[in-house]
A and B are shown apart, each in its own frame.
Chain A
Amino acid sequence: MTNTNWNVLMPLIFYFIGVFVIGFYSMKFVSKASIHEGEENGFLSEYLAGGRDLGGFVLAMTLVTTYLSAGSFIGGPGAAYTFGMAWVFLAMTQMPTGYFTLAVLGKKFAIVARKINAVTITDFIRARYKNDALVILCSISIVAFFIAAMGAQWIGAARLIEGSVGIPYKIALVFFAITVLMYTTIGGFRAVALTDTLQGVIMTMGTIALFVATIHAGGGISNIIQKMHAINPGLITPYSIKEGFATKAWVTSFWILVGFSVVGLPSVGMRAMSYKDSKSLKNGIIYGTVVSMVLILGMHMIGAFGIVVVPGIGSGDLVVPTIATKLFPPWVAGIILAGPLAAVMSTVDSQLLIVVGAIVNDLYANYINPRIKNNAKGMAKVSFVSAIIVGILVFMTAFNPPTIMVWLNLYANAGLISTFIWPIILGLYWKRANTPGAFASIITGVGSYILFSKMWPRPLGMHTIGLPLILSFIVFFIVSLSTEKPSKEIIKTFWGV
Chain B
Amino acid sequence: MGENNKNEEFIEDPRYKQCNKEALIGIGLGILNLIWWFGWGYGLGTKNTDEYTYVMGLPMWFFMSCIVGAILFSALAILMVSKFFKDMPLGKIDLEDDNNI
Contacts and interface: CB of A to CB of B under 8 A. Distances in A.
Interface of A: 85, 88-89, 92-93, 95-96, 98-100, 102-108, 110-111, 114-115, 220-225, 229, 233, 236-239, 248, 252, 255, 259-260, 277-279, 281-282, 285-286, 289-290, 293, 297, 429, 488, 491-492, 495-497
Pick the 7 closest A-B CB pairs, nearest first. Answer: A103-B26, A222-B57, A221-B57, A108-B19, A238-B45, A496-B10, A293-B70
A106 B6 contact: no
A244 B54 CA distance: 26
B49 A491 contact: no
Contacts of A99: 26, 29-30, 77, 80-81
Nearest to A88: B66
Contact of A108 (B23, B30, B52): B23
A220 B69 contact: no
A285 B58 contact: no
A89 B81 CA distance: 26
Contacts of B70: 92, 95, 293, 297
A108 B20 contact: yes
Contact of A107 (B10, B30, B88, B93): B88
Given A95-B69, A238-B61, A497-B10, 16 more contacts: A103-B25, A103-B80, A106-B19, A107-B18, A221-B58, A233-B49, A236-B62, A278-B85, A278-B86, A279-B87, A286-B77, A286-B81, A491-B6, A491-B10, A497-B11, A497-B93
Chain A: interface secondary structure? helix
Contacts of A278: 85-90
Contacts of B18: 107
Nearest to B9: A488
Most buried by A among B14, B19, B69: B19
Given A95-B37, A108-B23, A114-B90, A282 B59 contact: no
Contacts of B90: 107, 110-111, 114, 277-278
Interface string B50-83: 0010101111011001110111011001101110
Contacts of A89: 37, 41, 45, 62, 65-66
A488 B1 contact: yes
Most buried by A among B15, B57, B66, B86: B66
A235 B65 CA distance: 16
A282 B19 contact: no
A495 B16 contact: yes
Most buried by B among A99, A239, A492: A99
Most buried by B among A229, A238, A297: A238
A104 B57 contact: no
A289 to B, nearest CB: 4
Given A278-B87, A279-B87, A297 B59 contact: no
Contacts of A85: 59, 62
Contacts of A220: 57
A309 B66 CA distance: 22
Contacts of A233: 49
A233 B69 CA distance: 23
Nearest to A92: B66
A420 to B, nearest CB: 17
Contacts of B80: 99, 103, 285
A114 B19 CA distance: 15
Contact of A259 (B30, B61, B86): B30
B34 to A, nearest CB: 5
Contacts of B11: 496-497
Contacts of A223: 57
Contacts of A105: 23
A13 B15 CA distance: 48
A286 B12 contact: no
24 contacts: A85-B62, A92-B37, A95-B37, A95-B73, A96-B29, A98-B74, A100-B26, A104-B27, A107-B19, A107-B90, A114-B90, A221-B56, A237-B45, A238-B61, A252-B34, A277-B90, A278-B88, A282-B82, A285-B77, A289-B73, A293-B74, A297-B70, A497-B10, A497-B13
Nearest to A223: B57
Contacts of A290: 74
A155 to B, nearest CB: 31
B59 A236 contact: yes
A233 B49 CA distance: 7
A225 B54 contact: yes
Interface string B21-44: 011011101100110011001100
A497 B100 CA distance: 12
A108 B15 CA distance: 8
Contacts of B56: 221-222
A236 B9 contact: no
A492 B95 CA distance: 15
B12 A495 contact: yes
Given A106-B22, A259-B30, A297 B67 contact: yes
Nearest to A220: B57
Contacts of A96: 29-30, 33, 73
Contacts of A221: 56-58
Nearest to A85: B62
A223 to B, nearest CB: 7
B9 A103 contact: no
A104 B78 contact: no
Nearest to B82: A282
